[in-house]
A and B are shown apart, each in its own frame.
Chain A
Amino acid sequence: MIKNYLIALTSSLLLLPLSVFAAGYGSAGCGLGSMVMGSGDGIGQVFAATTNGTSGSQTFGITSGTSNCDEGGLIKSSKEREVFATENFTSLIKEMAQGRGENLHTLASLYQCQAGAHQEFGSMVQEKFDQLIASEQTTPIELLNHLEAQLDQHPSLSKSCSYS
């Protein structure tokens, strides 16, 4: 009786810390094959991409959310800014409030702003922060719309950046 109890106890003891192996993600120590970032508005699903034999062709394919991706598993260029802003939303708005940062410069590059204009771009978004992110509920898409409106009005950035 006592022995059984002991065995149960010791095995549950061994189970305790090991359960962290299975915590959340985890894929045999080497990170993830497929990882969904962001939350469920569809774009996040883009990266539930794995390599599969879609349509019988042995190439990099996408399992879901194909609307943002081409058939090779790359982001459609028309969707690049949208996907980038969505996936990096928190990092991006943090850097907007700071007026600098790599995510911000990447966004400026995605708007084809010349490298010399990146600092100006950073100052502008910091200055206009309350208009770009009007509230807690502002979505990434709204942010980009507001940003484009600001870029249009801006005396120099409207020239050094270009987008359609």
Chain B
Amino acid sequence: MRVYLIAGLSLWLCLLPAITYSKAKDSDNYLAELQQQAKKIKLSEQRVWHLLLKYNRQLLGGVISEADGMEFFNSADGKINPESELVATLASFFLPLDNLTNNQEHPQCNFPARFKWLNQQLKFDATRLKIQTCDRLDRWVNELDPVSVTLVFASYYLNNPASMFGHTLVRIDSRNRKDKKLTNYGANYAANPDTDNPFLYAWKGLTGSFEGRFAIFPYYTKIQEYNNLESRDLWEYELQFTEDQLNTMLLHLWELGGTYFDYYYFQENCSYHVLSLLEIARPELRLRDQFFFSVIPADTVKLVLAQDNLVKNIVYRPSILSLMNQKRNSMTSVEKKIFQDIVETKISINSDTLTLFSAQSQALILDAYMDYLQYIGMRQKSDHDAKIPHSVLLARSRLQLTDEEEKSIAYLTSPPHLGHGADRFRIGMGHNDQEPFIEFAYRPAYHDLMARDEGYDKDSEIIFMDFKLRYFFESEHVRLDQVKFLSITALNPYDSLFIKPSWRINFSIDTLRDRDCNYCNAITGSYGRGMSYRPTFFSSLLLFSFLDLRTEFSNHLKQDYRFGGSMEAGAYYDFNSHLRIKFSSSYRTFFWGEHKHFFTSHVVTRYAYSQNLDMRLEFNRYDNNNESIFAINYYF
């Protein structure tokens, strides 16, 4: 091969005055050489090539690229054929400039990551392949000039259950922006939803009918969006990469900018694509292989943290509401009272009631008040840019505290990487009034209120696709005990500033437990609203009550259905971080279809052994039927 090269080179040198014809011919030869060499060393089978083109193994053999925009490929069958794509990519690098239409970029500039890698593998001879200059790309890369990259996790958004799993994006940390980190750029992958219809929305999200795209934004716009507008906490995980790895990641991102992917809510989502960015920089990381059913943002954070020497530093960026609540939590009861009166505009910020306090107290109260006004203001679509009245700002500006007299303030939320895994496997043993049974259950997501709540929102529950089977020893039956397709509970503990009802929704297949029908099933749906109360932010007691509408369909019911309501009240109590107990009791009444009314009661205790393992003891009573269960839950 080298002989060829030398021969080719000397030939070219000797015939220097000779002409474009032989030059074109030589580039044809050189292309053929490169293509042959690539074939010989099986470049198209290498992991990096598959990462660059987003190839995934198919179940029935072969591969298919996740990219759905056809401009991403140079070969017509590039989506499924890595080898023909590689051959065509090499050919595209030889494209003469005059063949480009106005303003079109040369393939070398459009696919710089592929060019970089192929150049490393094949050592392009610059005398035989014209290396193009890429002005736009170079300016972009020089401006971004990354020294590190940060994985950013945005926690759930209260008002949007679809966001409950969180979100991840990456921040590119530039060399010249070290002292102004907010102005770094973030790279975000998200779907462009084209519907407002919630059913279509859910359906399209699950079946990959939305287009997902990468976009870059100044990081501060993401802070305004997540921290301030949606009031979501942000956790930043600064990652360790070499500058060359970062350069590869950036070039790859440039390639991705021009294409789109079908967005799958659970599989090919934001976190999946963020992981692939990390993999392209360090191909030995095999992050996406770890996920079986769904890629849940918080799980990707745990995975990244579990890698050796990947996370350098963790930074917490509390949301505007967290900031305000941190301040409220550190107030004395008198300060709290004044704060509440100011919010309710019972007293003015210039009244003596406030100004007689120490400057430090006044500042604390006004700071919390400004957070409150900003939070409220962000949520109102108004033309006024200033969300905080001038008079409040002026009053605060007059309090010039010399030292940092700020109290050290306790965080109200815990980082996502400390949370349990979202998948859960459960095995249990129990006994009902007739016979003993064992049960097996699996669900891919996400968190229930009895689980250890570190790393999660401690007042909400979201359960998706929870399948539970029971085997009964005496009747020797396997029965589908329950399938929770989707169950969401949002307890919004009473807060004098924002009065929000608690709510819950549940859609499942369940056993008709109030009757003896040989464990027959019913399809059930319920929706309820309620109230909940926690005495203080860190109190271990949480009280709740709900009024639900409930409907059940089953051919074991007299008219095949029953419809009614239920009233429930209960409490959660934490003895310590390991031990939690729940009591609840409800009255259910069905007044359409089959008539029936009965009581239920539940007592559940949980002992959390570790981050991913807990044990539960449950007692349930439905009408006159009792059961008790001991279960072990493993999260992963």
**Interface 9-residue window, one of A27-35, A144-152, A156-164:** A27-35
How far apart are the CA atoms of A75 and B396 in the complex, in Å?
Answer: 33
Quick one: which of B140, B191, B198, B383 has the most chain A CB within 10 A? B198
**Nearest A-chain residue to B559, judged by Cβ:** A3
Whole-angstrom distance from the CB of B456 to the nearest CB of chain A?
15
A80 interface hit (Cβ, 8 Å): yes
Nearest CB of chain B from residue A93's CB, rounded to whole Å: 6
Interface residues in B352-401 by Cβ distance below 8 A to A read: 363, 367, 370, 374, 377-378, 382-390, 392-394, 396-397, 400-401
A73 to B187, CA, bound (A): 11
Q: How many Å lie between the Cα of A155 and that of B94 in the bound state? A: 60
How many of chain A's residues touch chain B, expressed as a range? 35 or more
Q: From residue A61, how far is it (CB to closest CB) to chain B in Å?
A: 8
Whether A22 and B201, one on each chain, are in contact in the complex, defined by CB atoms closer than 8 angstroms, is yes
- A45 at interface, CB cutoff 8 A: no
Residues 78-90 of chain A: 1 if any B CB is under 8 Å from the residue's CB, otherwise 0?
0010011011111
Whether A126 touches B400, Cβ cut-off 8 Å, given contacts A30-B270, A38-B385, A90-B387, is: yes
Check if B213 sits within 8 Å of A83, measured CB to CB.
Answer: no
| CB within 8 Å: A-B pair count | 276
Max chain A C-beta neighbours (<10 A), residue from B382, B385, B401, B551:
B385
Q: Quick check: is A19 within 8 A (CB to CB) of the other chain?
A: yes
Q: Is B546 an interface residue (CB 8 A)?
A: no
Check if A31 sits within 8 Å of B163, measured CB to CB: yes
A31–B154 CB distance below 8 A = yes
> Taking the complex as formed, is A18 at the interface, i.e. its CB lies under 8 A from any CB of chain B?
yes
| Cross-chain contact A60 with B215 (CB below 8 angstroms) | yes
Docked pose: A17 CA to B160 CA in angstroms: 10
CB under 8 Å from chain A, chain B span 52-99: 71-72
Within 8 A of B (CB), among A72-130: 72-75, 80, 83-84, 86-91, 93-94, 96-99, 102-103, 105-106, 109-110, 115, 123, 126-127, 129-130
- Nearest B residue to A140 via CB reads B385
Give min CB distance, B220 to chain A, whole Å. 6
Query: Are A70 and B216 closer than 8 Å at their CB atoms?
Result: no
Expressed in whole angstroms, the minimum distance between the Cβ of A158 and any Cβ of chain B is 20
Q: Can you list 8 residue pairs at the A/B interface with Cβ under 8 Å?
A: A21-B162, A27-B210, A31-B188, A58-B255, A90-B228, A98-B367, A105-B180, A126-B397
* Contacts from A to B (Cβ < 8 Å): 2, 6, 10, 13-35, 37-40, 47, 49-51, 53, 55-61, 70-75, 80, 83-84, 86-91, 93-94, 96-99, 102-103, 105-106, 109-110, 115, 123, 126-127, 129-130, 133, 135-136, 138-140
| 15 other A-B residue contacts (CB within 8 Å) besides A28-B190, A35-B221 | A17-B503, A18-B198, A20-B161, A21-B161, A21-B201, A25-B230, A28-B269, A31-B226, A33-B190, A33-B213, A39-B385, A51-B215, A59-B254, A74-B185, A80-B183
